[in-house]
Amino acid sequence: MVDDLADRIRRFQEETRADAAARRRNTKASRAARVSQDIKFWGRFVAQVTQAVIWLRQYVWLPVWHVLKRVALAIARLYRRLWAWVVYRRDSDGELVFSRPRAGAMLLATGVFVWYLLIPLIRCGYDAALYAMTAQVDEQVYLLGSQEIDSTTGEHIVEGCSALPCSDRDAVYFRTEDSLFNNLWSLAHGRGMFYPEYVGAAVPYSTSRCAITSYGVRKRFPFRIVNMYSDMLAVTCHPE
């Protein structure tokens, strides 16, 4: 009887140890399987990202870079010729001599050209493309008022909502500012020069239903990270 009980206890202990060993083997096997799956996933992910980067470089970046490089080199060659024509003068012997005053005047003229003409032209092109993609003509919104934020340029902010009752989910935010594109748009529509002060002045300090023409990105994420505002070009309001 005692021997039978001892045998049962021994067999039970052996079975328990065997079960524990089997569980340890299964656990190791499952961990190895998970590690293997993780390695395969990340390897596949890295390979796919690499292929995407190669595709972007070949079909997007390189073509754009080649075009920009050609344009930059053409501009550089033209500027070099203009520089040589301006800054060199002939002396009494007919020899070309470098003139420091002419070089200084050339640098000054270049700075004025870039600041007052080239940069506005680049921004005008950007604004024109943005207008073509995002323009809202005679959009009906509710405006609550305007405020001048720069007395030198006449820049105003205009706030309102797309629907009533007004909430932060429906809020809209515009700016009116003097720019080359805004002036060209205003002239093209027979409105004369663009005056941001008068656009802001047309918005009453009360809840008003307004028809506005504007352009720009209204998504809140780009607005937060790069201060990208919608530009208001025209407004007609009727107080509620």
How far apart are the C-alpha atoms of 228 and 47, rounded to whole Å?
35
- Yes or no: say if 191 and 174 are a contact pair by the CB < 8 Å rule: no
Task: State the alpha helices, DSSP H only, in the chain.
Answer: 2-56, 62-87, 100-113, 119-134, 180-188, 196-201, 220-226
Q: How far is CA 49 from the centre of its chain?
A: 23
CB count in 10 Å sphere of residue 49: 10
Lowest mean pLDDT among 24-28, 94-98, 215-219: 24-28
Look at residue 234 and tell me whether its pLDDT is greater than 90.
yes
The pLDDT, as a whole number, for residue 167 is 87
Look at residue 112 and tell me whether its pLDDT is greater than 90.
yes
How far apart are the C-alpha atoms of 217 and 19, rounded to whole Å?
65
3-class secondary structure, 92: coil
Q: Which residue has the tokens 């020899």?
A: 95
The pLDDT of 38-43, averaged and rounded, is 79
- Binned at pLDDT 50, 70 and 90, residue 225 comes out as low
CB count in 10 Å sphere of residue 214: 24
Look at residue 226 and tell me whether its pLDDT is greater than 90.
no
Q: Which residue has the tokens 């609550």?
A: 144
- Yes or no: say if 160 and 210 are a contact pair by the CB < 8 Å rule: yes
Q: How far is CA 198 from the centre of its chain?
A: 29
How far apart are the C-alpha atoms of 52 and 44, rounded to whole Å?
12
How far apart are the C-alpha atoms of 219 and 228, rounded to whole Å?
9
Q: Tens digits of per-residue pLDDT, 58-107? A: 999 999 999 999 999 999 999 999 999 999 988 777 788 888 999 999 99
Is the whole-model pTM more than 0.75?
no
The pLDDT, as a whole number, for residue 213 is 94
Q: Tens digits of per-residue pLDDT, 149-192? A: 888 888 999 999 988 888 888 888 999 999 999 999 999 999 99
Provide the token pair at 176.
């009116």
Provide the token pair at 141.
């919104």
